[in-house]
Every structure is written in structure tokens, then in C-alpha cells.
Amino acid sequence: MRILIVEDDARGSHFIARGLTESGHIVDTAAEGATGLAMAREGIYDVIVTDRRLPALDGIELVTQLRAHGHATPVLMLSAVAGLTDRVDGIRAGCDDYLAKPYAFAELLARVEALARRTDRARLQDVLQVADLALDRRARRASRAGQDLHLQHREFLLLECLMRHAGQIVTRSMLLESAWNYEFDPRSNVIDMHMHRLRGKVDRSFAKPFIHTVTGAGYVLRTDV
């Protein structure tokens, strides 16, 4: 899951980002509302976590503008101001959930994951299956013909992206968005390195390769060639 955190408190932002990353998610951060809104409008996030009080553009206005432009990405608002009227204002602005500070990270994580499940259960289904290739998101396990593939974290995310777009060309940009955050240097060859290792694990022990390079375009997961 790809999550955007909009929080001007550097310590708080780092705390949330570290916890979500350690839970297996891809995290981007913004330190003020205007930047957060611009990033949110790219439409690449599964969930947005935003503070209510932000410089440049506060959280309520961020969500209001996001909804006005037709974006339905679920939003969890964090705030030290959590009276009934404040919570109602947040929900009316378009927030999907409201969490008062201070909070336990376990609760924040549970709410984020609940929002994602509620919004798009089909896209976030736990088990993906393409021919004899299977990926279990909840168990963080991938296998082919019943044999465990023992994937590293990035390899798992890349394979998930390929399987969700089976039969379609997956570009380098799509792979970047699925497994790296904004701090990643797109000029790096790290994608090719990870894909080389992934192909070795998915295809090496089998007569029929599934992952194919499309020169100048990206990669494709195909089982019919």
C-alpha cells in the first residue's frame, strides 16, 4: 500500500513513516498543506494521513480541495483538537476518519488498513493468482507451483505490481511507484537489479518463464508465451 503523510512536525512525521514502512508500506511525506495537496492530486495513494493544523494550507482545506477535484482517496485526519464540533467539521470536509492526538501507532495502523480495505476490497484482495504463481499479501508469501520464492521486500512489491497487471506492460514509472518513495533517484539502475533477482527466483527453476522484458517500455508478466 502507498501512503501519503502530510505533517509539519518532523518528529511526528518520522514516527509515522517509520512505523508504516516497517509494516510493509511505501510512504511519502509532505511538511505543509500545499505540497501535500499537489502530491495527493497525483492519484497514486491508497490512503492519506494528514494533520489538521498545517502551514500554507490547513488539513481541512486540503481535504476540501481534494474532494472538489474529484479525488476519492480515503483520508485519516490527525489532530490535537478533537472535540465533537472539530470531528464533525473534518468529516463534513471529506475526511473518512479522525484520530485524536496523542494516539497509539497500533491504532493508527489499524485505521489506515481499515480505510484501504473499505475503499477497494477487490484491489487489495489478500491472494493473487496467475497460473501456478501465487502471492499472499497478508502472509507476505509468494510461491510458484507450490515452491516458496523467498522474496525480499522490494521484490515482493514488484511482483505484486506485475501480477495486478498480468498481460499488460508495466513501465519503470509504475514499478517505481509500487516499490519506492519520492526520494528514489529514477536514474539509478536499482530497478533492473531488483528485476534481475526477481526473475531468477520466479523463473529460474521452471521451463516456462513468466516475466519478460519489453525493450524500451518495461516488463510484462505473461504465461502464454
The pLDDT score that the predictor gives to residue 122 is 45
Pick the closest to residue 197 from 165, 149, 161 (CA basis).
149
Q: Is the pLDDT of residue 109 over 70?
A: yes
Are 221 and 167 within 8 A, CB to CB? yes
pLDDT per residue as tens digits for the range 134-189: 999 878 899 999 999 999 988 998 999 899 888 888 888 788 877 776 555 555 67
Strand pairing of 75-79 and 97-100?
parallel
Identify whether 102 is preceded by a cis peptide bond (ω within 30 of 0): yes
CB neighbour burial string for 174-205, b if at least 16 within 10 angstroms, e if fewer: bbbbbbbbeeeeeeeeebeebbeebbebbbee
The pLDDT of 40-59, averaged and rounded, is 91
Nearest to 117 by CA among 134, 97, 98, 102: 97
Cell numbers standing for residue 194: 531488483
Host H or E run for residue 64: helix 59-68
The CATH superfamily label for domain 2-119 reads Response regulator (3.40.50.2300)
Pairwise CA distance, residues 163 & 160, whole Å: 5
- Dihedral pair phi/psi, residue 17, rounded to 5°: -60, -45
Q: Which three cell numbers stand for residue 222?
A: 505473461
* Nearest residue to 13 (alpha-carbon basis) of 2, 24, 28: 28
Residues 198-212: tens digit of each pLDDT: 999 999 889 999 999
> If you average pLDDT over residues 89-99, what whole number do you get?
91
H or E segment and range at residue 34:
helix 33-40
Q: Does this model's pTM top 0.75?
A: no
Q: Assign 120 a pLDDT band (cuts: 50, 70, 90).
A: low
Q: 127-221: which CATH topology?
A: Arc Repressor Mutant, subunit A (1.10.10)
Give the phi and the psi of residue 50 in degrees, each rounded to 5.
-130, 145
Enumerate the domain spans of the chain. Answer: 2-119, 127-221
Taking all residues of the chain, what is their mean pLDDT, rounded to a whole number?
Answer: 88
- Strand 2-6 with 47-51, pairing: parallel
